[in-house]
Structures are given as structure tokens and as C-alpha cells.
A = this chain, B = another copy of it.
């Protein structure tokens, strides 16, 4: 078991704490974190073209990707509410309750892998899962492709997004388009980013102190990179395991992916960008209050009981990570045709 504080000290980056002025802090923060880019032009070899973004926008909002025809990607990853659904764990097909809190789609392209346990290497693989999960959208690749092929406007949009392909309307191309759209769901220019790029006035005194505490306490050991997390996996309870309300015993996290004992109760460190918009917190969605979440993290991950005013300062700093939210126009979707598979509530309570 490692200590986050040891890592940071080992990296020799605690020098700022004794230095005065914003520049040292800025340098340290730049090294640990970094700004959110303003644009993504390609992702894992796939070009982000306007045609793919536009098609992806249609797909992201199309409830006919679910068998019921009432659940779209945006249902649980609402771009108007921090890219998540802001309930403990998502509600899906038949009002079934999902096992984990919905992670935000905002800036998700910058994560090393997707889902709380990182079981999908990228957004296109991620997008395949909820469509097929029985507790989420409860559809199948065949049904989705039949649905899309039944509408001439969709066929045209796929042809334009994937030119030269003989049969472009495929499940694989669908998720490439969704991924392309999701690369536009990024939130640059947060007050923290403004501070990082030279504006001393972007953060007030308490927020500066919160950033210092965040670094000094070791939060940045796991919550690192421009997303303040989403880069690696850590046990929930590095030092002290939280109670079963926060960390339900039945969900062993990444263990389900790797089948390795070391990965029991291991999760991908939550990205903290726009965290003020994405309560409730943790994979269990059990903490509604940002200050409470900071306190729990302090105890379980750092083994310290953080002082009340430090908690307040860290939470104040975290609220400076809210960036410019994406401006998304609701796509006008093509109407179903006589060949479109009908909505299906089978197996769901009526």
C-alpha cells in the first residue's frame, strides 16, 4: 500500500508550500494537472469530422437507441446538468436501478479508460455497453442497426460521416460517431484554467488556499492530469475503508474486470472537473455534499481528519473547476418509418 503523500513528497514538489507568490503554485499545478484543451481533432486514430460530430449528436439524443424508445444517452449523461443525471444510481429500462452512479460525459475523452472500473478502453467501446445493458437501454446491436437503417436521413448521415464505405450503417460506426460528438463535450476556461494561464485574479484567497491544501494533502496523487482524475485506479479506502453505505460490499470495483485480489474495491479515480455540477458523489452516489465528499476522501484515502476550514477551502477550490459548459442544440431527429422496430416495453412493469 502506498501513501499519496509520500508519492508527492517523493516527486519533490512540495517546495511551493514555503514559497510565496502565485507563480510557484502555478508551476506545481501545471505539472500536476494542466488546462482542459479547447478542441479535440482526433481520438485514437479516428478523425473527428463535422459530419461525425453531427451524426453523433443525433445518436446521442435519439431515444430509439433504447428498446423502449424513451431512454437516450442524454438521459443519464445530461449535457445540461454536468453531463450526468444527478441521482444516486441511474434509472433505466423498466425503472430498474443501475448499480453505480452515472459518470459525467463532460471531458470524458481525456480519461485513460471509461466506466468506474475502466472496463472500456475508450468512448466508442463505452457507448456500446449501455445500449445493450438490460438495466439501461435494453437493446441489441441488430435492433439498433435495423432502427437506423429504417430511416433514409440516418442512412445519408452515415454515408456522409463514413464516405467510401459500402455499408456504413453499423454498430461500430455508430459508436465512432457518438465518440466524435462526445469529444465536443469539453469544458475549457474554468477559473482554475484561467489561473493556470496567468490570471492571478481568477481565484480568490480561499480558493488559492484550497488548491494548496489539495496538493499538499496529496489529493493530486490520484486526482491528477487535466481532468483531476480519470487516469489511474486506486482502492476506495487506501488508508481506511469507508462504511458500507459509501462502499457497498457487493461491488468490488475493478476486481470484476481483472479478477485480481489486489483490485478488490479499486476504482478509477473520479475526474473532478465540473464536480460542483455532478452530485451525488462516489460510485455509490451516496454523498450529496461536496464538503462531505472531501471529508470522506481525506479519511479514507489520506488517513487524516482534515480541519473544517481546510475542507471548506478545498471544496471552494474544486468549484473553480467548473468550465464553460458546451452549447448543444437539440438535434431534430428523422421520423420513424414503417420499417422502424416499434418501441418494446416487454419485460418491464407496465
Contact = CB atoms under 8 A, between A and B. Distances in A.
A11 interface: no
Contacts of A342: 288
Contacts of A277: 335
Interface in A73-101: 75, 78-82, 85-88, 91, 94-97
Interface in A315-350: 325, 327-333, 335-336, 338, 342-343, 345, 348-350
A23 to B, nearest CB: 32
Contacts of A348: 95
B70 A335 contact: no
A278 to B, nearest CB: 8
Contact of A91 (B70, B85, B279): B70
A289 interface: yes
Nearest to A344: B87
A246 B87 CA distance: 38
A82 B330 contact: no
Contact of A333 (B80, B95, B279): B80
A336 B279 contact: yes
A220 interface: no
Given A69-B87, A87-B69, A349 B95 contact: yes
A343 B95 contact: no
Contact of A330 (B279, B330, B333): B330
A252 B88 CA distance: 40
A181 interface: no
B82 A335 contact: yes
A63 interface: yes
A68 interface: yes
Given A87-B70, A348-B95, A338 B80 contact: no
A332 B330 CA distance: 13
Interface string A33-66: 0000000000000000000000000000101000
A43 B75 CA distance: 31
A328 B325 contact: no
B61 A70 contact: no
B70 A345 contact: no
A331 B94 CA distance: 27
Interface of A: 61, 63, 68-70, 75, 78-82, 85-88, 91, 94-97, 276-277, 279, 288-289, 325, 327-333, 335-336, 338, 342-343, 345, 348-350
28 contacts: A61-B80, A63-B78, A63-B81, A63-B85, A69-B87, A70-B75, A70-B87, A70-B91, A80-B330, A80-B333, A81-B333, A81-B335, A86-B343, A87-B343, A88-B343, A94-B95, A94-B349, A95-B348, A95-B349, A95-B350, A97-B345, A97-B350, A279-B336, A288-B338, A328-B330, A329-B329, A330-B330, A349-B349
Shortest 10 CB-CB contacts between residues of A and residues of B: A95-B95, A325-B332, A80-B330, A87-B343, A277-B335, A328-B330, A80-B333, A97-B350, A349-B349, A329-B329
